[in-house]
Amino acid sequence: MCGKSSDNESDSKQSITTGLNFTNEKDFSLPFPIFALGEATKQTLSEKFPALNVMTFEESVDGRSLAAAIVKYDKSRNKEEKTKPLLLLLGERHRPELMTELSSEHISFDTEIVYKSVDNEELGNFTTAKGDTENSPLVVVWCFFSPNGVTVVDKHVSSKFSQNLSEFVTQNNIVTCAFGNTTARRISDFKCNVDIVSQKPTAEALASVIKEYAQHKQQ
């Protein structure tokens, strides 16, 4: 997500397109800040493009909390800056909360679809190894990073095994893990238990909650 460099939509898109035609990543910059959801994304952008002004809202874990952070930031912008709408870079499949919240606060924005999710028809057989011995069983954990991912896996399981997601997860003693409450609710929609929920969208937070779950099970 970024602020636009021009009030004219076609000019804005052209300026972004032109700006991306660069030869030196170290010198590449844009005349507006880039907002990243999560510290890891900010770090990656900053390492690759050190001249960019990259900001992140550490407490944002979903569309609503991100919108709240943007509203707070918007209040700090001067009058001239507020005449330039934000540009939301989205995937083809996205949830509406962010846009709904920004609209309710009368913050102007435009959207641009910059990537799309494609279902993988060759996801494999989801082999669930049980461990070499009874003393060292392996626990299979499925981590879902988005609501759409849950839908895709359910479709694949139904096609390959003639079972719904809930039946397959229960039969194979699979532990389910979700990135955020929205994804967790989507898992529940398929009548599956949600064993682990990572409230922060980072690999470190995910590893931490899985570790806590494993330690609790060993007690």
pLDDT digits (tens, 9 = 90+) for 1-48: 544 333 333 333 333 333 444 557 788 887 778 887 767 778 888 888
Whether 15 and 105 share a structural domain? yes
Length of the chain in residues, anyone? 219
Residue 188 near residue 194, CB atoms below 8 Å: yes
Whether 23 and 108 share a structural domain? yes
CA geometry: angle 197, 201, 206, nearest 5 deg: 50
Whether 102 and 166 share a structural domain? no
Whether 107 and 157 share a structural domain? no
Strands 86-91, 2-3: parallel, antiparallel or unpaired by DSSP? antiparallel
Which residue range forms the structural domain that includes residue 204?
Answer: 141-218
C-alpha dihedral over 112, 43, 70, 209, to 10 degrees?
Answer: 110
Write down the pLDDT at residue 212. 92
Write down the pLDDT at residue 172. 86
**For residue 126, is it within any domain?**
no
Which residue from 90, 88, 85, 86 is spatially nearest to 114, judged by alpha carbons?
Answer: 90
Whether 22 and 104 share a structural domain? yes
**For residue 78, is it within any domain?**
yes
Whether 27 and 80 share a structural domain? yes
Write down the pLDDT at residue 120. 66
Whether 17 and 71 share a structural domain? yes
Write down the pLDDT at residue 59. 66
**For residue 130, is it within any domain?**
no
Write down the pLDDT at residue 3. 41
**For residue 15, is it within any domain?**
yes
Whether 105 and 187 share a structural domain? no
Instruction: State if pTM tops 0.85.
Output: no
Whether 155 and 206 share a structural domain? yes
**For residue 49, is it within any domain?**
yes
Distance CA 26, CA 215 (A): 44
Distance CA 163, CA 154 (A): 9
CA geometry: angle 43, 84, 89, nearest 5 deg: 45
CA geometry: angle 205, 209, 213, nearest 5 deg: 170
Whether 62 and 155 share a structural domain? no
> Which residue stretches of the chain have pLDDT < 50?
2-21, 131-133
What single letter denotes the amino acid at residue 11? D
Whether 98 and 149 share a structural domain? no
**For residue 61, is it within any domain?**
yes
Whether 173 and 73 share a structural domain? no
**For residue 148, is it within any domain?**
yes
Write down the pLDDT at residue 13. 38
Write down the pLDDT at residue 124. 61
Distance CA 95, CA 195 (A): 23
**For residue 91, is it within any domain?**
yes
- Could you give the number of structural domains in the chain? 2
Place of tokens 């102007």: 108
